[in-house]
Chains A and B, each alone.
Chain A
């Protein structure tokens, strides 16, 4: 679809929307494999519903790309059917190894993306603002699902708990990196133009404050510490920025 005659020239916004759409699309595709493979019938139905939601979110985001001048370089890249660029997390390149990968993606990555959308609910870019509000509303139930299953798998103990922890660890760094380094030009530009209400570091702290209560309650130790002075969670070890691909917003 190339109906737009006057396109917005904004590389940073184009990059972020591309990343959001690709991640939502990839999450939906990975979830889809588990619609008939979840540990319980109820969970399978919930997985199917969440698959629909995630693919739906991708379908509302991809058409936005057509509004940008950056799309003109290669119009095939704005349609999910013809797009060959994959700006989703490397974790999503492979099939999930088990249900715990589904739960980790639901709990960690999807919550991270929702943290971004929450910060864009009053965005100066209206199409993003509209979508952000709708997505945040739909994601409430996804978050309940993610937290519920992290509790279930962790409380099961033994090998089940160990598998859950491994999945969380495998996705941890890349999810925290997705917000970008403190001086991330893309996110900083959105922040300065009121398209987003937080800097990358603030988003990361807000995200950690969302997920850490659940992990703490389950005595799951992750490489973070609570800074008493700033009353915020901070990574306790450096994130792997040497492997960070700023264009694709993923680790290499």
Chain B
């Protein structure tokens, strides 16, 4: 890394850190009414509306009939793996 690049990186770091996402949302969906919801993945977003957009954009491989997101930190573990 050149000195100029290092200076640029240093100046940009606070901006990037300000945009770091810290909330994980678990994404659940199902394809048929007779199926239960199952976990298909997760997204990171601090804004719930953005979390919805991300979940729909990323997990668009099927024509889901239902999709929900749940904040991971609200999940209560009963039996740990």
Contacts and interface: CB of A to CB of B under 8 A. Distances in A.
A45 to B, nearest CB: 5
Interface residues of B, number: 20
Nearest to B50: A148
Interface in B1-51: 14-16, 18-19, 21, 43-47, 49-50
B60 A158 contact: no
B23 to A, nearest CB: 11
Contacts, number: 60
Interface centre among A43, A147, A151, A158 (most CB of B within 10 A): A43
A144 B19 contact: no
B21 A141 contact: no
Contact of B18 (A43, A141, A156): A156
B57 interface: yes
A46 B53 contact: yes
B54 A42 contact: yes
19 contacts: A39-B16, A39-B19, A40-B19, A42-B43, A42-B50, A42-B58, A43-B54, A45-B57, A46-B54, A141-B52, A145-B50, A148-B50, A151-B47, A152-B47, A156-B19, A157-B18, A158-B14, A159-B14, A160-B15
Given A151-B47, A152-B46, A158-B14, A40 B21 contact: yes
A31 interface: no
Interface of B is mostly: helix
A66 B16 CA distance: 47
B56 A152 contact: no
Interface of A: 39-40, 42-43, 45-46, 48-49, 141, 144-145, 147-149, 151-153, 156-160
